[in-house]
Amino acid sequence: MSLATSSAHPSKPRQVYHEPTGMHRLDILSRALSKLLRHQAGREHMNMDKRGFLSLCDVLNHRYFKSMKATPEDIFQAVNINDKKRFKIVQVQDDGIDYDNECKECEVHTYVQGCHYMICALQGHSIASVTDSYGMTEIKKNEYPEQIIHGTYYNKLKSIKESGGLSRMSRNHIHFAEGMPRYMNTGKRARETPCKENGKALESQDRAGVRKKRRASIISGMRKNCNVIISLDIEKVKKSDLVFYRSGNGVILCPGDKDGLVKLEYFGKVTDMSGKEIDLKTI
């Protein structure tokens, strides 16, 4: 007697869902925080103040973070390890959050049970009510950095040219950096960067150390995989009506002109990552 055989078309094995753990889980939480604090909180009419702060309790009670079973400790850890320092958590000194008047607050990095916290993203908002991002300060004309650069992609240059310049689009600001971030492979460009300290040109033997120190302090402003750099003409920008700000994590921000643009006339050079110049007339 032969043994009974299984069906000729056995069903596929059921896929088992595994909860993300470790760094992968923290990366997912960080991305979710970025989406909520920069964009989604406005659409969902959450109680966010003009600086972009939400109560940590409101974040933890949001449906997505509840589905992830996120704890306060998880949020603190995701904030602390973020490589671009996108977020800030502050402890408020009272039992409630007064959104009409700024609370007495202090920045914190460790969760203590029973304390009250607020959390914000430091830049990147598309929420119109966020008019005074936490830690954002206006850059005075006489304090402009030597460089203001914007990272983009070669396949975006045509639309940038056709629109008349860099547009803030749906966001509140256009993002720039005051030099190449530490995570960018800059090659020739790093060696050609103007290098001054206290307004004075440095001797060649001192330049490498200063450039290395400067790049180490630039932690944000452009995506890691961008392949084109747009450098603004600092002297033209100084004479313009454009206003620039520095965010709480060092990103240079500009709302643009009345149309939300930093126009082509303020572009200095457009180059690839090796420093080779790109002629926009040929795009």
196-208 pLDDT, tens digit per residue, is 555 555 455 555 5
Q: Report helix, strand or coil for 134.
A: coil
On whether the CB atoms of residues 64 and 82 are closer than 8 A, the answer is: no
Contacts of 59 (CB under 8 A, 6+ apart): 33, 36, 65, 75, 119
Produce one character per residue of 86-118: b if its CB has 16 or more CB atoms within 10 Å, e if not.
Answer: bbbbbbbeeeebeeeeebebeeeeebeeeebbb
What pTM does this model have?
A: 0.77
Mean of pLDDT values over 45-72: 96
Dist CA 24 CA 69 (whole Å)? 15
Could you give the domains of the chain? 22-121 (no CATH), 137-282 (3.20.170.30)
Chain position carrying tokens 């991002």: 133
pLDDT > 80? residue 70: yes
pLDDT > 50? residue 100: no
Any idea which of 7-16, 84-93, 156-165 has the lowest mean pLDDT? 7-16
Upper half-sphere CA count for residue 29 (Cβ side, 13 Å): 29
Structure tokens at 169: 């689009």
User: Which pLDDT band, with edges at 50, 70 and 90, does 8 fall under?
Assistant: low
What is the side-by-side order of every strand in the sheet holding 267-272?
149-152, 228-232, 267-272
Task: Determine the angle formed by the axes of helices 22-35 and 72-81, rounding to 10 degrees.
Answer: 90
pLDDT digits (tens, 9 = 90+) for 89-99: 999 876 555 54
Q: Please state the φ and ψ torsions of residue 215, each to the nearest 5 degrees.
A: -65, -35
Segments in 69-138 forming alpha helices (H): 72-81
On whether the CB atoms of residues 253 and 243 are closer than 8 A, the answer is: no
On whether the CB atoms of residues 106 and 91 are closer than 8 A, the answer is: yes
